[in-house]
Amino acid sequence: MSMIQRTIKVTTTQAIVDDPTADPESFPLRKWSIKISVIGANGEEVPANVFDKVTYRLHPTFENPIRSFKKAPFKIEEKGWGEFDLNIIFHVAERGGEHTVMHDLNFRQNKYDVTHVFKFPTNKPALNKLLFESGPVPGYNNPSNNNGNGNSNMGNGGGSSDSNISSNARSTTHNSSGSGSNSTISSNANTAYTNSSNLGSNGNHPTKEQYPPHHPSSSTFAKTNSTTPTSHGTVSEKRKSESLPLKPKKKSKIVDKVTVDLERLAEGIQKLGEDDLMEVVQMVTENKTPDTYIRNDIEEGEFHVDLYTLPNSLLKSLWEFISKCAKV
């Protein structure tokens, strides 16, 4: 399947809320917002109409922490006094898949941009029309700019098309932290990577580790990032020191997953075709938990998931789906 790239911009703004009644020794309350746009072929900002919905998964101490917006610029506005990481899920229009990124909400600057590069399928005419708003789309004829012979002159729109992404699945087992099954799904679905942003510091605000719970109504401060070691490394622990006294360690999740044979599940994934692999990727991204380890490899067109970090309900759903699609 041919793919095309687009650069997505996530713009964050924040400012201290003027409150004369606030305790001068407490952390200041801030109003912040996040909005989404697409970078056009000439570097201009274009409405992100390639998405029909954007979902923000805020810190659990917020009221209604899962917020969805269905119209560009998909802007969310909130108040709080602490920095935190949040997942942003981009739902591509015309059922073109979805992309998930981890966004760093911080107060080092009043405004900052972070860019991500996503791949989009070009086999959907309606989606191609939306993609054309931000640059040329190979194989798509713009009705308003036809050169008379049914063809239009197109480049790569600041991105590149890719029709050579493997649809084969590869599954491996690792034992770097006990035992586990790690499935690498080679698919052209949901691949993304993040460009580093130049986030400076003005030195006049507390660090994340110094912040209390970010939301005024909070009474506890839960960890939002998993720090479980995997064969791919350890997930960032930058919020580890934010937590209040830690709860006792939970029993190994492996004990709870005996109802599903993860080795056979990994073998089943290896036998799936491209369409079924895309379905598996969608199931994982829609039903993962904060403890779930996934990684999108943009260079190889692969989707990595540690099966031992998936919740039981998702494992059972995957088992039922794969049992129907492949002989396991």
- What are 102's two structure tokens? 């981890």
Asked whether residue 162 is assigned to any structural domain, the reply reads yes
| pLDDT value, residue 21 | 76
Helix axes 262-270, 312-325, angle to 10 degrees: 50
Kindly give, in sequence order, each residue whose CB lies less than 8 Å from that of residue 179, ignoring residues fewer than 6 positions away. 173, 254, 308
Q: Is residue 24 part of a domain?
A: yes
* 191 has a pLDDT exceeding 60: no
CA distances from 325 to 161, 312, 318 (A): 30, 20, 10
Q: Residue 276 — φ and ψ, nearest 5°?
A: -70, -35
The residue range of the domain holding 66 is 3-147+157-325
pLDDT of residue 265: 86
Q: How many domains does the chain have?
A: 1
Confidence (pTM): 0.49
The tokens for 213 are: 């719970």
**Least confident range of 50-64, 204-218, 314-328:** 204-218
Q: Is residue 289 part of a domain?
A: yes
Q: Is residue 201 part of a domain?
A: yes
| Structural domain contains residue 95 | yes
pLDDT band at 211 (very low <50, low <70, confident <90, very high): very low
- 181 CB neighbour count, 10 Å cutoff: 22
Q: Which residues pair with 78 in a beta bridge?
A: 32
Other beta carbons within 10 Å of 105: 20
For 260-289, how does the pLDDT look when each residue is reduced to its tens digit (9 = 90+)? Answer: 788 888 888 888 888 888 888 888 888 888
- Is pLDDT above 90 for 31? yes
**Tell me, what's the pLDDT at 17?**
92
Strands 180-186 and 192-194, how do they pair?
A: unpaired
Could you tell me the two tokens for 259?
Answer: 């109802």
Using alpha carbons, list the distances in angstroms from residue 288 to 108, 143, 157: 30, 41, 33
Query: What pLDDT sits at residue 36?
Result: 98
Which amino acid would we find at residue 72? A
Distances (CA, A) of 296 to 98, 190, 246, 275: 12, 7, 30, 17
The C-alpha atoms of residue 148 and residue 246 are separated, in whole angstroms, by 69
Q: Is the pLDDT of residue 45 over 80?
A: yes
What would the two tokens of residue 225 be? 């990032």
Does 22 fall in a domain? yes
76: domain CATH number is 2.60.40.1970
User: Please, are residues 23 and 7 in contact by the beta-carbon 8 Å criterion?
Assistant: no
Cβ within 8 Å of residue 225, ≥6 positions away:
85, 235, 236, 237, 238, 239, 290
**3-state secondary structure (DSSP) of residue 242:** helix
pLDDT of residue 227: 31
Q: Is residue 152 part of a domain?
A: no
- Three-class DSSP category at 165: coil
Residue 204 resides in a domain: yes
Select the highest-mean-pLDDT range: 126-130, 169-173, 239-243, 258-262.
126-130
The larger pLDDT score, comparing residue 283 to residue 191, is at 283
Lowest mean pLDDT among 109-123, 124-138, 290-304: 290-304
Contact between 123 and 2 (Cβ < 8 Å): yes
> Chain-centre distance of CA 40, in angstroms?
21
